[in-house]
Structure 1
Amino acid sequence: MSYIVSHATKWYYDYMLLTYQFKLNPTLEQVIILETWGELLRRHWNYALGERLDWLRRTRSQIDRCSLVSEPIGEIPNKVDYYTQASDLKLTKELFPGYKNIYADCQQQNLMRLDKAWKRWLLPDKFGNRGGKPRFKKRGDISSFTFLRVNSPKAGAHLTGSTLKLSKIGEIEVILHRLIPNGFEIKQATILNKADGWYCSFSLADKTVPDSLPLDKIKSVTGIDVGLEKFLTTADGQSVAVPQYYRKAQSILARQQRQLARKVKGSKSYQKQANSVARLHLHVARQRKEFHYQVAHWLVNSYDLIIFENLNIKGLARTRLAKSILDVAWGAFLQIMQAVAVKRGKLTLGVDPRGTSINCSSCNERVEKTLAVRVHSCSCGLVIDRDWNSALNLLKCGSVGLPISGCGGLDNSQLVKQQVSYVNLRCSR
């Protein structure tokens, strides 16, 4: 099992941010310090969140009743935000000396996370959507903290070779399973705890990303239809099978969870068994992520433009097919595919999926069918796999105005039943 994983790609002006993750090999004393930091930051989060909720209750009143009915009488507090809470860090260290041992940037970043979650809850985005209410953290919920500066004169983290020196923690060995490319600037470092140990995620600035391919130089294009019977089908008639990592691990996971239920909650044996269950979930997540990267690299290597459907995945995950939908993780795959395409200078395009499974890709006639019907059979004579037909419709919809042929080559002159071919993925990230 590789410790990896490079993920999360974002654009920032003239460079791109990549994340390289490496496993750490801390000593027992350093593990105790890291766990202590996480617990103190959790308590500080809960206190700061309580301050914000108290201010909100005292300064808000419902239209049809007076707040004095349900709120205590007292002086109305001043507005609480990141700046007021960050200015109180000095007082916090005086009252609770344990916080003096935590690097200041990590405490400020903890408050920044809370402020971001608070604004996401109260202020809608440009689409009118809001996030959920910030929650109080239970023991162990905060398992990461960030050093905002790395390898600068006033930084709290310094990476030299395979050694990471953290302020007030010491030097920790880093298992560098791959080298950081030359010319990449390390922006920040996040220390996080997983079921199988401690990791460090370095945020790297990459200025060598190629420009996007011009539209007039696009030579190959395809549409992809994602599904549950087949993970995806391209407009060329190639399909990728669904691996079903979670369903294959369910029997082992159920046995481990039954053993966990027999343990005394809070005991050492309970904690050990809970860690075994967490490791199983982590293994399944890594399998799925590796598979997503393989498919993404295969698509980007094969096509200059990839057209996909903008699905309402959250809505689909509330149906009776929720377990299968969450197992294939379409949303995570589409994010990875778009990130890989940007790194290669290729293009992706999301289109409206309405009607792509019903309309005929040859004559555009509506052919109503249920999910159980897996073959598209039209009166024009076209008999084709349902997912292949959807991929062709996506290709036609997304290729409008481009200097390429809009259809994958199938028309009503091909009266035979068309079958998809499965792709055997052997590529590596």
Structure 2
Amino acid sequence: MRLSHQYRIKPSPEQEALMLHWLELLRRHWNYALGQRLDYLRRTRCPIDRCSIRSCPIGEIPERPNYYTQARDLKQTKALFPEYKDIYLEVQQQNLMRLDKAWDRWTKPDVTGKRAGRPQFKKTGELRSFTFPRVNCPKAGVHLTDEVIKFSKIGAMPVILHRPIPEGFTIKTATVVHKADGWYVSLSLEDANIPAPMPCDEVKTAVGVDVGLKEFLTTSEGSAVLIQHTYRKAQKQLARQQRKLARQQKGSKNAAKQKKRVALVHQRIQRQRENFHYNTAHQLCSKYDLIAVEDLNIKGLARTKLSKSILDAAWGAFIQKLEAVAVKRGKLVIKVNPNGTSQDCSGCGTKVPKTLSIRTHECPKCGLELDRDINAARNILDRALNTVGLIVSACGGLGVAQPVKQEVSLAIGRSPRQTR
């Protein structure tokens, strides 16, 4: 099992200038190595027995570049540019390894047949991190003792250990990250023990979760979590700071200061959203053994007219955090097909078409009347239970003999109001 803990570090002005210099040199090396790969691709893009209208090989075709050939050329790079000798060797190798992984994600499809986007050339300041692959071993580039961390060729500096490193975990890598409000080190922790997920026959509590824009999520029990609108609340302030940046002369010191103010607004939005997601995920995992969610196509939904609200809610990021929290706590998260969860009746299964503006589900066949989000959450739970082979009532074990009208209560764990 792997965890990642991030701590703030306090470099001196000299150390900060040195790390910024490292980032700039690594950025240039990234761009050069990426250019090598794209040049080889351009030279060899057409078969040898025919000529391409777009391009054809000119001169001798170079050797196919990969991580090993580019890492081998580091010796020549240091001879031509002596300033690269000041960078720890393994940091340069990790920079090339990161490019190699990005290249493979673009050129090689995954198990589903999808490929990531093409690696991009980085502008000044866009490369914001570098990695030391070994920590606290004889030949490591990083040594952490108490509240002091020492980086090879950079020096020792204070680190704020706001939470202790868990017992039994070994520090594998250390990544130095430059953010808008300072410098951080992200430690990758590894433990040989993997928490086993809860067996299906031991599941005692289960819940279905339907995410939305009216409420952030609604459970099959009728409770809900209000949506935060993190970006929309800060939108005016962000626009004001961006207008000030547009008035500054590019490349000036005032422009650099204003760019940092814009970055701080974005960082605050990101941290508020992340904190809300983790708190909600822990609340669900502390109460339920099995959590059913929809397997949503966020990219497709983000192409609609509701794209800003959908991206502000960040359902995909929340589900990823929910899965990570569930793994650490030994709980189950089941993804189900979202098709028809809002249209099908959770009581009898009849398809009841309704537009997005209709917020109440009314079944003409069985007479069930309740909030459409609760109805969708119950359908999600039913599909998840059928997937794992469990038979549990979608209402949390509470049998309902007659049709009821149910409204959403705005707190997890609060029982819904029901009227007959």
What TM-score, normalized by structure 1, do the two folds share?
0.92
Extract unaligned runs of 5+ from structure 1.
1-15
Q: Residue 342 of structure 1 is aligned with which of 314, 327, 347?
A: 327
Is the contact between residue 316 and residue 322 of structure 1 (CA under 8 Å) also seen in structure 2? yes
> Could you tell me how far apart the structure 1 residues matched to 2:277 and 2:238 are?
22
Instruction: Give matches, 1:132-147, under 5 Å.
Output: 132-147=117-132
Q: State the partner residue of 2:409.
A: 421
Q: Percent identical across equivalent pairs?
A: 58
Q: Which whole-Å CA distance do the structure 2 matches of 1:419 and 1:64 have between them? A: 70
Deviation at 1:235, TM superposition (A): 0.7
Partner of 1:277: 262
**Aligned partners of 1:214 and 1:69: how far apart in 2?**
58
Partner of 2:361: 376
CA positional deviation for 1:73: 2.4
Equivalent positions of 1:153-232 (< 5 A) are 153-207=138-192, 209-232=194-217
**Separation (CA, whole Å) in 1 of partners of 2:381 and 2:314:** 22
Is 1:248–2:195 an aligned residue pair? no
- Provide the rounded CA distance (Å) in 1 between the counterparts of 2:328 and 2:113: 31
What letter matches 1:253 in structure 2?
A: L
CA deviation digits over 1:254-303, x for unaligned, max 9?
Answer: 11111111111111111101100100110010000000011000000110
Q: Secondary structure at the match of 1:273?
A: helix
Give matches, 1:289-368, under 5 Å.
289-368=274-353
Query: Does the alignment pair 1:87 with 2:75?
Result: no
Which of 213, 233, 247 matches 1:262? 247
- Bigger Cα displacement from structure 2, 240-249 vs 402-411: 402-411
CA distance in 2, matches of 1:309, 1:403: 18
Question: Within 5 A, what are the aligned runs for 1:41-190?
Answer: 41-61=26-46, 66-67=51-52, 70-71=55-56, 73-190=58-175
Q: Give me the whole-angstrom Cα distance separating, in 2, the residues matched to 1:111 and 1:57.
A: 20
Structure 2 residue runs of 5 or longer lacking an equivalent are 414-420
> What secondary structure sits across from 2:234 in the alignment?
helix
Kindly provide the amino acid, as one letter, of the partner of residue 264 in structure 2: R
Instruction: Give yes or no for contact 1:209–1:345 (8 Å, CA) kept in 2.
Output: no
Aligned to 2:392: 405
Amino acid at match of 2:241: Q
* Matched-pair contact (CA < 8 Å) for 1:388–1:420: yes
| Contact kept? 1:310, 1:353, Cα under 8 Å | yes
Shift of residue 120, structure 1, vs aligned partner: 1.1
Query: Residue by residue, what CA displacement relative to the aligned partner does 1:155-197 show, whole Å, maximum 9, x if unpaired?
Result: 0000011111000000011111111122221010000101001
Paired residue secondary structure (1:422): coil
The Cα of 1:402 is off from its aligned counterpart by 3.5
Number of equivalences: 410
- SS of equivalent residue, structure 1 residue 307: strand
SS of 2:239's equivalent in the other structure is: helix
**Matched position secondary structure for 1:266:** coil
Farther-moved stretch of structure 1 (285-294 vs 115-124): 115-124
SS at match of 1:223: strand
* Cα distance in 2 for residues equivalent to 1:140 and 1:252: 24
Q: 1:282 to 1:317 in 2, by over 3 A?
A: same
2:207/2:394 contact within 8 Å kept: no
Residues 65/230 of structure 1: CA separation in 2 closer, same or farther (3 Å cut): farther
Describe the superposition over 1:134-162 as per-residue Cα deviations: whole angstroms up to 9, x where unpaired. 11111111110000000000000000111
CA separation of 1:27 and 1:111: change in aligned 2, threshold 3 A: same
Q: Does 1:394 align with 2:380?
A: yes
Deviations 1:315-335 (A, max 9, x none): 111111111111111111111
- Tell me which amino acid in the other structure corresponds to 1:333: F
AA in 2 matched with 1:87: R
**Cα distance 1:61–1:208, how it changes in 2: closer, same or farther (>3 A)?**
closer
Return the alpha-carbon distance in structure 1 between the equivalents of residues 404 and 104 of structure 2.
57
| Alignment partners' CA distance in 1, 2:339 and 2:296 | 9
Residue in structure 1 matched with residue 417 of structure 2 by the alignment = none
Please state how far the C-alpha of 1:70 moved relative to its aligned partner: 3.4
Q: Which residue of 2 aligns with 1:11?
A: none
Task: Check the 8 A contact 2:207/2:292 in 1, yes or no.
Answer: yes
Instruction: Please give the alpha-carbon distance, in whole angstroms, between the structure 2 residues aligned to 1:417 and 1:69.
Output: 65
CA distance in 2 between partners of 1:298 and 1:204 (Å):
25
Q: Which amino acid counterpart does residue 392 of structure 2 have in structure 1?
A: S
Contact persistence 1:382–1:412 (CA under 8 A) = no
Q: Secondary structure of 2:6's match?
A: strand
Find the residue that maps to 1:253 and give its secondary structure. Answer: helix
- What do residues 204-227 of structure 1 show as CA deviations (whole Å, max 9, x unaligned)? 113455321111111000110011
Query: Partners of 1:62 and 1:375 in 2: how far apart?
Result: 60
